[in-house]
Structure 1
Amino acid sequence: MKLFSKIFAFIFAFLFIWSAVLQYNDQDAWLWYAIYGSAALASIFFVFDRLLLSIGVFLSFLYLISSYIFWPEKYEGVSIGGGDINNIERARESLGLLISAMVMLFYAWRIKLSRKA
């Protein structure tokens, strides 16, 4: 399970970096660079057993609360052409934050398990 967790974290580090790069043409790109950059950094720290449990839990809650805040007033899906572009953009951002929260929660859970062993 430890090897799987390391591979999982390495893959998500790459995915978070890629997600940040894709924000280059967004109006608030700097915000998403910080959000996905911190998630990538946490993933890299996890790979090298340097991520603290408190940081994993904190980031998980931060991303979860942010996901709630970013959720559109009216959910219209995530595909272009399915509704108002602003609602679609906010739904995509919210789902990205929710994925980030779940990944950080997984890291915190694995850190907690490794302390018991």
Structure 2
Amino acid sequence: MFLIILNIVFCLAFIGFAYVNLNDPDAWLWVGIYLAVTVCCGLFVFKLYYPKIYLGLMAFYLIYAVILFFGKDGVLDWITKYKTPSIVETMQAEKPYIEKTREFFGLLIITSALTIDFFAVKFWL
């Protein structure tokens, strides 16, 4: 029962994340990213599980997260060059590192959700 509730919460959260990304210049990418994980979590509620899709999405998200971490004005620059200023003071990403750092943590969140389902499947299905 816990996994059902958790995946319903995941679905609602990721739909919300997709919605707030509709006005981004790269909305085509981020709405797709969030909707893909939303579909996986939604299908999991109905005991539909596709491990190859999970692994493919997790690999894509983690590779993209590494790119955002090490890229110019990425997370590593946010930590070392900019000394970790707040990335949540305003919704506007006025500095280049803000958007990349937020995207990095978004990828970690959705990868975590997929990882939970990937390993919890043996207890659920």
Deviations 1:1-37 (A, max 9, x none): xx11111001010111100000121101111111001
- Mapping for residues 17-96 of structure 1, pairs under 5 Å: 17-71=15-69, 72=74, 73-75=76-78, 76=84, 77-80=86-89, 85-96=95-106
Q: TM-score by structure 2 length? A: 0.80
Kept in 1, the 8 Å contact 2:21–2:30? The answer is yes
Normalized against structure 1, the TM-score is what?
A: 0.85
Which residue is equivalent to 2:118? 108
- The list of structure 1 runs, each at least 4 consecutive aligned residues, that deviate by more than 6 angstroms after superposition, is none
Could you give the per-residue CA deviations for residues 76-104 of structure 1, whole angstroms, max 9, x where no partner exists? Answer: 342247x9621011000010001111110
Tell me how many residue pairs correspond in the alignment.
112
Alignment gaps of 5+ in structure 2: 79-83
Identity %: 29
CA–CA distance in structure 2, aligned partners of residues 90 and 17 of structure 1:
20
The letter of the residue matching 1:55 is I
Q: How many angstroms apart in 1 are the aligned matches of 2:62 and 2:22?
A: 24
Q: CA RMSD in A?
A: 2.0
